[in-house]
Copies of this chain bind each other. A is one copy, B any other.
Amino acid sequence: MVLHVIGLGLGDEKDVTIKGLEKIKAADFVYLEIYTAVLGVKKETLEAYYGQPIIEADRTLVESGCEEMLQRAKEHRVAFLVVGDPFCATTHSDLMLRAKEMDVRVDVVHNASIMNAVGICGLQMYRFGETVSIPFFEDSWRPESFYDKMVANQRMGLHTLCLLDIKVKEQTLQNMLRGNQIFEAPRFMTVNQAVDEILEVHEKRQELAQPVRGFGLARLGSDSQMIAAGTFEELRTFDFGGPLHSLVLCCPDTSLHELEMQFFDFFRTHHSLAG
C-alpha cells in the first residue's frame, strides 16, 4: 500500500511534524532506523507518545534490504522512521528506489537534519562546501581524504560541516566469525576526538589556513544543546557533554563575513542562544 519515510528531526519525540505524527499513528507497522543516528530519547518514549509499538531496524536489517518491511508495505501502511531528514543517509535513498521497483508507493515526510540545522552557529548556509565524515582512526587505518576535502573547501572560501563517526551494534571480528550475536557498546565521536584526528593530519600536511577555527555543536535541537566557537586548539579540550556532536571548520579568516564573525565571537563566550 504505502511506505511512509518519516524524518523525526533532531531532538526528541516532539520534533516530528504534525503530518508525520498523523501518519505514524495511522500506520500498521512502525520501524525505527537506529544505526546511522540516534535521537535524544528512548524507543519506549517514542512508543508511548505515538501509541504504537516500534520495530528497531538495525544495520543488519537495513543493509540486508529491509525485505520484510518492503513486503509488508505492499499490503499495509508502513512507517519507516529516520532521525533527522530521510535523505541524510545513502542507504535510505536505495531503499526508496527498491520500494518503487516493487510498485510500493513511497511518501516522504521531511524534517530538520544536521545538514541545515547547523546554520544555528551563524555561518551562512549557502557558504558550505562538501560535507565530510570523520571516521574513528584505527591502528592501521588513518585515512586523510576528509582533510583533502576540508582544504579544497577552504581554498574556495567555504565552510566544512564534519559529521562525526557513530558505531552502533558493532561486533568484534571474533564474535562475527563465530556468529555470536554479541555487540559492543555504542561509540559516538566527540568534537575533541575529531579535532585530535584532524590536527594529527594537519601537523604533517599544514594545508589548512591559520588559525584553524571552527564551531563545535552538541545535541543540536535538544534543550541541552551546546555550541562553542574557537580555535581547534581551544575546541580540543572543551567539554561538550554527551552525544551527538558535530564540528564545523570555518573558511579562512579573510573570507569570513562580518555577521559570521559576530556569531563566532558570540559563541566563543556564550554557548547557547537561550542563555
Taking CB atoms, residues of chain B closer than 8 Å to A221 are 110
Taking CB atoms, residues of chain B closer than 8 Å to A152 are 156
- The interface bits of chain A over 115-147 (1 if a CB of B lies within 8 angstroms of the residue's CB, else 0) are 111011010111111111100000000000000
Taking CB atoms, residues of chain B closer than 8 Å to A124 are 90, 93
Taking CB atoms, residues of chain B closer than 8 Å to A133 are 126
Whether A246 sits at the interface, judged by CB under 8 Å, is: no
A10: nearest residue on chain B (CB-CB)?
B110
Contact B100 A110 (CB under 8 A): no
Q: How many copies does the complex hold?
A: 2
Contact A111 B111 (CB under 8 A): yes
A131: nearest residue on chain B (CB-CB)?
B126
CB distance from A227 to the nearest CB of B (A): 11
Interface pick from A25-33, A71-79, A258-266:
A258-266
A273-B96 contact, Cβ under 8 Å, with A14-B19, A112-B7, A221-B110: yes
CB distance from A58 to the nearest CB of B (A): 21
Taking CB atoms, residues of chain B closer than 8 Å to A13 are 18
Cα A130 to Cα B126 in complex, Å, equals 6
- The interface bits of chain A over 264-275 (1 if a CB of B lies within 8 angstroms of the residue's CB, else 0) are 001000100110
Contact A158 B130 (CB under 8 A): yes
Task: Using CB atoms and an 8 Å cutoff, list the residues of chain A in contact with chain B.
Answer: 7, 9-11, 13-19, 21-22, 85-88, 90, 93-94, 96-97, 100, 105-108, 110-113, 115-117, 119-120, 122, 124-133, 152, 156, 158, 163, 220-221, 259, 262-263, 266, 270, 273-274
Known A85-B117, A111-B112; further 19 A-B contacts with Cβ < 8 A: A11-B19, A13-B18, A14-B17, A85-B116, A85-B119, A88-B116, A90-B259, A93-B124, A93-B263, A97-B266, A100-B266, A105-B273, A106-B273, A110-B116, A113-B116, A125-B131, A127-B130, A129-B156, A130-B158
Instruction: Enumerate the 8 nearest inter-chain pairs by beta-carbon distance, A residue then B residue, closest first.
Output: A87-B119, A110-B112, A126-B131, A106-B273, A14-B18, A14-B19, A115-B116, A110-B117
